[in-house]
Amino acid sequence: MNQDTRKSNNSNFFSEALSSVERVRFDRQLRLPGWNQKALKDSTVLIVGVGGLGTEVAKNLAMAGVGVLHLIDLDIIEHSNLNRQILFYDAEEGEPKSKVAARTLRKINPHSRYIWHYSNLEDVDPEIYATADLYIAGLDSVTARNELIRRAVHFKKPMIDGGTATYYGHVYTYLPDENSCLQCDPQRERERETLAACTLVGVPRKRSHCLLKGQLFFESKHNRPPDTTVVDEVKIALDYANDLVKEHFPDSGLFTLDEAVKMIDQHDPTVISINAVIASIQTQESLKLLHHIKGIKLGTVNPEYLIYNGLVGKFFYIEKPPNKECHLCGSNAPIIETIELPDTSTLDMILPIIKNRGYTFDPELLPNFWLMDLKEMKEAQKGFTLKEQKIRNYETVYVTGLSKDNEEIDVYLRILLKSR
Ligand SMILES: [Zn+2]
């Protein structure tokens, strides 16, 4: 690259990476100090969960001109999404969220690319995780967050997690090697009030158990939960519950219809304002990070866990230093070995390669290989080729039965396919 080209590429206003239409579209942000539009255009962001937060972040990043957005979601559109998810305004109920989001984003900013995945995050090609610049999480499931953070740790990618609950929200940016991952201090699976011990028979121990028993009563008659849009169905559960309340908790008030609906249909309550605040913070942190990743200094990314309390309009911050003991990102975490192979090789062919890297194994008890990235971890067969077992580029293979310095050790292999 000669000096002149470099110069013009560094200029926002004369960047050859931008068309004249793009230069006009982004004119106001090109004027921002420290801003580099080409850095954003060259970026790829993976958005996992295209719901309340995901749609909002996707809309923002598309409008800001991020070059490629991968949109991953297994859900379809429901009417109840429309109180906050603008990308679905003209969608049919039942259409995949990721597909509709991509379609709307193309109308919003046709200069970027939107790749939709109507799929769970495990089925998305590992190569996409390996090559994206950062991940955005707009997820409501702890399991999915855990799956995503494992990929973030292994591929050393920042992950900007967001969440909302009632009038509160949080944003946390995992920065590899700088702060803690989500496993350093694992979030417990939210305890549902539906306790295994709670059955129709037996005395309710808490007032809330009465409502659960009301629901179970309905289910025992109809083999399904009450439809919370049908008042008569909710009332059957409610009346049963309130009879129990009168008997066992005579000093406390009866349940209302609204309480019954919320208990039976446990969707997180949420409103667009909290979503918008949290998604905007996720977006702003993304924009800075994408500059950093492309080698351009633009502000600093907040490494702390941020909580927004929308009822009092305040932000709170919690420090999250790295935890050396963490089984995922700490010093006890499995080692990652990258191995490059043609897809016609079998897994046995890995054994001499690992041996060469100082690992030992009992020849009588050869190591076992497990495919980690699938929805259900699956044992890989040593005698079959990578291709036959559909082992993908960048696939993580967990190996058991290896030792190093006379100590048993867990190793993850990252498979790189030579044919690519
Ligand atoms: Zn950790």
Q: What is the pLDDT of residues 60-85, one digit of tens each?
A: 999 999 999 999 999 999 888 777 78
Q: How many CA atoms lie within 13 A of 355 on its CB side?
A: 10
For residue 335, give every residue at least 6 positions away whose Cβ sits within 8 Å of its Cβ, in sequence order, or none.
409, 410, 411, 412
Going by CATH, does the domain composed of 32-187+269-318 fall within 3.40.50.720?
yes
For residue 188, give every residue at least 6 positions away whose Cβ sits within 8 Å of its Cβ, in sequence order, or none.
142
**Distance, CA 351 to ligand 1 centroid (Å)?**
29
Whether pLDDT at 314 is above 90: yes
**Distance, CA 150 to ligand 1 centroid (Å)?**
9
**Distance, CA 269 to ligand 1 centroid (Å)?**
30
SS3 label, residue 387: coil
Least confident piece of the model among 9-23, 53-67, 139-153, 234-248: 9-23
**Distance, CA 374 to ligand 1 centroid (Å)?**
21
CA distance 92 to 76: 10
**Distance, CA 323 to ligand 1 centroid (Å)?**
6
pLDDT computed for residue 200 by the predictor? 64
**Distance, CA 390 to ligand 1 centroid (Å)?**
30
**Distance, CA 333 to ligand 1 centroid (Å)?**
9
**Distance, CA 146 to ligand 1 centroid (Å)?**
11
For residue 240, give every residue at least 6 positions away whose Cβ sits within 8 Å of its Cβ, in sequence order, or none.
213, 214, 217, 218
CA distance 48 to 50: 6
Give whole-number Cα distances, 193 to 123, 198, 202, 205, 361, in Å: 31, 9, 16, 12, 47
- The domain limits of the chain are 32-187+269-318, 207-264, 335-417
Q: Do domains 32-187+269-318 and 335-417 have the same CATH topology?
A: no
**Distance, CA 185 to ligand 1 centroid (Å)?**
7
**Distance, CA 180 to ligand 1 centroid (Å)?**
5
pLDDT computed for residue 363 by the predictor? 77
Whether pLDDT at 5 is above 80: no
Residue matched to tokens 């309130």? 242
**Distance, CA 174 to ligand 1 centroid (Å)?**
10
Q: What is the dihedral of CA 71, 74, 78, 83, to 10 degrees?
A: -40
**Distance, CA 314 to ligand 1 centroid (Å)?**
28
**Distance, CA 406 to ligand 1 centroid (Å)?**
26
* Reported confidence tier of residue 197, pLDDT bands at 50, 70, 90: very low
State the amino acid at position 317 in one-letter form: Y
CA distance 414 to 358: 17
CATH number of 335-417: 3.30.450.90, 3.40.50.300, 3.40.50.2300, 3.10.290.20? Answer: 3.10.290.20
The answer to whether the CB of 404 falls within 8 A of the CB of 358 is yes
* Reported confidence tier of residue 11, pLDDT bands at 50, 70, 90: confident
Q: What is the pLDDT of residues 268-308, one digit of tens each?
A: 778 889 999 999 999 999 999 999 999 999 999 999 999 99
